[in-house]
Amino acid sequence: MAHIAEQADQAREPSIAVGSKQPGWRFLSSRAALYLIVAVVVLVQFFPIIWSVLTSLMSPAETTSIPATLLPAHPSLTNYQQALTSDIGGFKIGQFYLNSVIVSTVSTIVTMFLAMLAAYAFARLNFRFKSQILLIVLALSLFPPLAQLIPILRILILSKTILGIQLFGTIGALIVPYSVLGLPLAILILIAFFQEIPKDLEEAAMIDGMSRFQAFLRVILPLTIPGFFTTAIIVFVGNWNEYLFALNYTTTSSYTLPVGIVTISQSEYVTNFGILTAATVMAVVPLVVLILLLERRIVSGLTAGAVKG
């Protein structure tokens, strides 16, 4: 009997050992699969930037070779030098960079100021046709930019006749539409943040003698800084990358980076992809670095407005 019991114990040991190891292998395999998926997603997301950087270091022959060249044989910064020194009508890429900074910054400030007031009104105040007005505002974002191109162009041209202000062909021709086109998204995001703040806070401030506007500035607005900051970055990036309006509403002196980059890389019949990618890297990489540095704040801002608790 003792011998039989010993054999039974020995028979059980392998099954126990295997059973104890299975959860560990499953855990490791699931983690490995997760890391693989994340690596593939990151590679796909950053591949255009990696490809642009590699192409910017190639010679003109390598950028147009068939089959395509993946790595430059003799990396060189010549394309960056040419991108910096090339000019259109006497204007270099530095001028286009400055135009983009001015247009994106000013239009973002105007958009956020208007969106802040509008979002607070929709989130806190009760007035007639509030839902209908909000629906109209959000519906404006559904119109594609191409459908808005000609009407806005007519308004810019008529501005000189009606207001005596020359907008077409200047950076003002971009600041005005950019300030309006970013409003629906900014309002929608900020409404969520204002709704997260308890009404008791501003009611207590008003009981202490503050007006509603003072309570908004001193109590409500500081609590929405994460959402305000996140929304401003989203609006700024959209304005920075916009191409269609910048192409049609500006002249050489008021070109922004997207238009200037394409223009300086083109000759009569040929596009110099080395210069094109070099200028693109110089325009995009600082923006990417800024977003990566502020990633935590952006994500915290978005989650703060999306999660209720």
Q: For 88, which DSSP code?
A: E
What are the tens digits of pLDDT across the range 139-176?
877 888 888 889 989 888 888 778 788 888 889 899 99
What are the tens digits of pLDDT across the range 117-147?
999 989 888 888 888 888 888 887 788 888 8
Burial 164-199 (b: 16+ CB within 10 A, else e): eeebbebbbbbbbbbbebbbbbbbbbbbbbbebbee
On whether both 127 and 190 belong to a single domain, the answer is yes
pLDDT above 80 for 108: yes
What are the tens digits of pLDDT across the range 26-45?
767 778 888 889 889 888 88
**169: phi then psi, degrees, rounded to nearest 5:** 90, 5
Q: For 271, which DSSP code?
A: B
Residue 264: per-residue pLDDT: 83
Query: Of residues 9 and 288, which shows the higher confidence score?
Result: 288
On whether both 127 and 37 belong to a single domain, the answer is no
Residue 73 forms part of a structural domain? no
On whether both 24 and 97 belong to a single domain, the answer is no
Residue 37 forms part of a structural domain? yes
Distance between CA 250 and CA 169 in Å, rounded? 4
Please choose, from the candidates 221, 220, 193, 191, the residue with its C-alpha nearest in 3D space to the C-alpha of residue 302: 193
Residue 105: per-residue pLDDT: 93
Residue 63 forms part of a structural domain? no
Residue 301: per-residue pLDDT: 60
On whether both 100 and 23 belong to a single domain, the answer is no
Q: What Å distances lie between residue 268 and 65, 90, 271, CA to CA?
A: 20, 18, 8
Residue 100 forms part of a structural domain? yes
Distance between CA 100 and CA 236 in Å, rounded? 10
pLDDT tier for residue 10 given thresholds of 50, 70 and 90: low
Cβ neighbour number for residue 49 with a 10 Å cutoff: 14
Residue 99 forms part of a structural domain? yes
Residue 285: which CATH number? Answer: 1.10.3720.10
Burial class (CB in 10 A: 0-12, 13-18, 19+), 296: exposed
pLDDT above 60 for 9: no
What are the tens digits of pLDDT across the range 41-99?
888 888 888 888 888 888 888 888 888 778 888 888 888 888 888 877 778 888 898 99
Report the pLDDT averaged over residues 191-215.
Answer: 84
Q: Which domain holds residue 96?
A: 87-306
On whether both 111 and 49 belong to a single domain, the answer is no
Residue 16: per-residue pLDDT: 46
pTM (predicted TM-score) = 0.79
The amino acid present at 277, given as its one-letter code, is T
Burial 8-25 (b: 16+ CB within 10 A, else e): eeeeeeeeeeeeeeeeee
Helical (H) or strand (E) element with 282: helix 273-293
On whether both 46 and 98 belong to a single domain, the answer is no
Residue 256 forms part of a structural domain? yes
Residue 18: per-residue pLDDT: 47
Residue 249: per-residue pLDDT: 92
Could you give the number of structural domains in the chain? Answer: 2
On whether both 52 and 128 belong to a single domain, the answer is no
Residue 69: per-residue pLDDT: 79
On whether both 231 and 108 belong to a single domain, the answer is yes
pLDDT tier for residue 198 given thresholds of 50, 70 and 90: confident
On whether both 139 and 255 belong to a single domain, the answer is yes
On whether both 139 and 232 belong to a single domain, the answer is yes
pLDDT above 70 for 309: no
What are the tens digits of pLDDT across the range 290-299?
777 777 766 6
Residue 76 forms part of a structural domain? no
Report the pLDDT averaged over residues 267-273.
Answer: 75
pLDDT above 70 for 3: no
Helix segments in 86-198, DSSP class H: 93-124, 130-139, 145-162, 172-181, 183-196
pLDDT above 80 for 300: no
On whether both 36 and 97 belong to a single domain, the answer is no
Residue 268: per-residue pLDDT: 64
On whether both 48 and 92 belong to a single domain, the answer is no
Residue 233 forms part of a structural domain? yes
**209: phi then psi, degrees, rounded to nearest 5:** 115, 0
Cβ–Cβ < 8 Å for 48, 33: no
Write down which residue in 56, 72, 102 finishes a domain.
56
Residue 19: per-residue pLDDT: 47
